Amino acid sequence: MSLHETTAREIANQVRSRKTSARKVAEHFLSRARKHDKTFKAFLSLDEDATRAQAEAVDERVLAGKDPGPLAGVPVAIKDNMCVRGQRTTCASKILENYVAPYDGTAIEKLKRAGAVLFGKTNLDEFAMGSSTENSGFGATRNPWDPSRVPGGSSGGSAAAVAARLAPLALGSDTGGSIRQPAALCGVVGMKPTYGRVSRFGLVAFASSLDQIGPFAWNVEDAALLLSVVSGYDPKDATSVDRPVPDFLSTIAGGAKGLRIGLPKEYFIEGMDPEVESAVRRAVKTFESLGARVTDVSLPHTDAGLSVYYVLAPSEASSNLARFDGVRYGLRSQKAGNLLELYERSRAEGFGPEVKRRIMLGTYALSSGYYDAYYLKAQKVRTLIRRDFEKAFENVDVLLTPTSPTPAFKAGEKADDPLQMYLSDVFTISCNLAGLPGLSLPCGFSSGGLPIGLQIMGRPFEEDRVLGAARAFETATDFIRIPGGL
């Protein structure tokens, strides 16, 4: 069995036991990336020499008899909105086209300590704003299952790299579904942990009350492994939460017997793709056959989620992105006469259309006289959404829903209609608004051969239960597949 047909755990085991070397693993995936990434464009940059040097350092540790760490020699692709020292970190934006990060983010530091080999920077919608990875300032990523379709977004590069087996693992960030939706559209496992579980130090901020870093993987066990490595309190991120991190890998084998599952009726709506609905209904039957108890629940404020999100996320973004002013780093307009023009023109030249749209929307919502009507109102309705979940979780352990209303859509299909594009996140947004852990894993295929994702959400800090449910389903089914020709 070739390395890209195994698992990240197996690769780490082989490196640790010297059945293979980290260098051979790196060469294997570098050669796959060279061969296939022309089609999918998952990577914005992939420094082959830096990759080899890291792999060799892991091999030296193994040869010296030292513990190389749980991710020994495993290549991990990094969404290009996370700072890796000495590497370009562009956020897929022209405004950061030549920005080289002077430090490592905390999740990156943890990966290095765990023996992982950082494997390139992946494409995204500019500043993580989008659902198709078409908003990238450096060209769109395509879906490994069908290159005429989008991989989802905004972490579409990370999802496509893992789906095409160009890397065993990847990190993404999720503000309204940006890990789970592309995981669903690309047929891989993706998880947004509880807000506060993973430090965001070194993640370029988009919407600070919503952003979380999380894993992409070929299967649930690998996702659990990667999540265990990157989780934990960090004094450099005041929103990270100081509580023990379980070894998620050891907590996921419990099965689904006795698990109480809720099906929120608001997530099975008119107009959703019938193949998505039937795949999710079949998944529910599978859980029942495994001994889970399924009940209908209601989250009555679900339909407010999108509106709340499109006030809060752009407002917070307009504030966070104020730092890109052409003064200390990034693009500086050469056409500016005075300081005000330098700000206005650098930002005009550097930001793409979706980023400008959200900055304008957020600035409007926060401008004098509108704060109460928009931001404060949205924060109050957010409380109603959170309470819905608290009530539902009094009687059930996890919630099952579709991840996305449709399988992967055609490139260009929604590019000119922002509202249509926003609707593809309708099932993932509430999870961020409530700060919950949520995971997507493959639960079937459309008649056209496109993967369909199942979303599992849990109580705050109960990633173990979410992963356990996902693992039980994965063990009972056979939806982890490699796209044709790869």
Residues acting as catalytic residues:
79, 154, 178
Strands 169-174 and 212-217: antiparallel
**Which residue among 265, 383, 395, 412 contacts another protein (CB under 8 A)?**
383
**Which residue among 13, 298, 307, 475 contacts another protein (CB under 8 A)?**
307
Question: Do 275 and 452 form a contact (C-beta atoms < 8 A)?
Answer: yes
**In terms of CB distance, is 431 or 470 closer to another protein?**
431
Binding mask 140-179 for another protein (x = CB under 8 A): ----------------------------------------
Which positions from 78 through 117 interact with another protein, judged by CB under 8 A?
Answer: 85-86, 98-103
Q: Does the footprint of another protein cover residue 328 (CB under 8 A)?
A: yes
Question: Do 69 and 59 form a contact (C-beta atoms < 8 A)?
Answer: no
Write down how long the chain is: 486
Q: Does the footprint of another protein cover residue 271 (CB under 8 A)?
A: no
Tell me the closest approach of the beta carbon of residue 196 to another protein, in angstroms: 5
Which positions from 308 through 327 interact with another protein, judged by CB under 8 A?
Answer: 308, 310-311, 318, 322, 325-327
Which positions from 27 through 66 interact with another protein, judged by CB under 8 A?
Answer: none
**In terms of CB distance, is 99 or 393 closer to another protein?**
99
Whole-number Cα distances in Å, 203 to 21, 80, 208, 300, 380: 31, 9, 10, 33, 27
Tell me the closest approach of the beta carbon of residue 306 to another protein, in angstroms: 7
Q: Site size for another protein, by CB under 8 A?
A: 73
Q: What DSSP string describes 135-195?
A: S-TT----BTTBTTB---SSSHHHHHHHHTTS-SEEEEEESSSTTHHHHHHHTSEEEEPPT
Of 114-122, 252-260, 296-304, 391-399: span binding another protein (CB under 8 A): 296-304
Quote the CA–CA distance of 272 and 403 in Å, as a whole number.
11
Structure tokens at 136: 């990238």
**In terms of CB distance, is 217 or 378 closer to another protein?**
378
**In terms of CB distance, is 107 or 361 closer to another protein?**
361
**Which residue among 65, 244, 271, 337 contacts another protein (CB under 8 A)?**
337
**Which residue among 434, 441, 469, 472 contacts another protein (CB under 8 A)?**
434
Q: Does the footprint of another protein cover residue 253 (CB under 8 A)?
A: no
Quote the CA–CA distance of 248 and 437 in Å, as a whole number.
13
**In terms of CB distance, is 261 or 342 closer to another protein?**
342
Q: Does the footprint of another protein cover residue 486 (CB under 8 A)?
A: no
Tell me the closest approach of the beta carbon of residue 380 to another protein, in angstroms: 4
**In terms of CB distance, is 138 or 329 closer to another protein?**
329
Tell me the closest approach of the beta carbon of residue 90 to another protein, in angstroms: 12
Which positions from 223 through 252 interact with another protein, judged by CB under 8 A?
Answer: 235, 238-239, 241
**In terms of CB distance, is 343 or 473 closer to another protein?**
343
Q: With the CA atoms of 374, 377, 382 and 383 taken in that order, what torsion angle do they form, in degrees rounded to the nearest 10?
A: 160
Which positions from 196 through 215 interact with another protein, judged by CB under 8 A?
Answer: 196, 209
Determine how many CB atoms are found less than 10 A away from the CB of residue 442. 27
Quote the CA–CA distance of 11 and 480 in Å, as a whole number.
18
**In terms of CB distance, is 85 or 281 closer to another protein?**
85
Which positions from 457 through 476 interact with another protein, judged by CB under 8 A?
Answer: 460
Quote the CA–CA distance of 203 and 114 in Å, as a whole number.
19
Of 53-61, 128-136, 185-193, 382-390: span binding another protein (CB under 8 A): 382-390
Report which of 251, 191, 258 is spatially closest to residue 226, judged by C-alpha positions: 191
Contacts for 430 with CB less than 8 Å, ≥ 6 apart: 299, 302, 305, 385, 389
Question: Do 440 and 181 form a contact (C-beta atoms < 8 A)?
Answer: yes
Instruction: Please compute Rg for the chain using Cα positions.
Output: 21
How large is the angle between the packed helices 463-476 and 220-230, nearest 10 degrees? 160
Angle at the Cα of 342 (from 340 to 345), degrees rounded to 5? 105
Binding mask 339-378 for another protein (x = CB under 8 A): xxxxxxx-xx--x-x--xx-xxx-xx--x------x-xxx
Of 34-42, 198-206, 215-223, 380-388: span binding another protein (CB under 8 A): 380-388
Whole-number Cα distances in Å, 284 to 10, 110, 299, 482: 30, 36, 18, 24
Reported as half-sphere exposure (CB side, CA atoms, 13 A), residue 242 has a value of 5
Q: Does the footprint of another protein cover residue 329 (CB under 8 A)?
A: yes
Tell me the closest approach of the beta carbon of residue 166 to another protein, in angstroms: 29
Which positions from 391 through 430 interact with another protein, judged by CB under 8 A?
Answer: 418-419
Tell me the closest approach of the beta carbon of residue 437 to another protein, in angstroms: 11
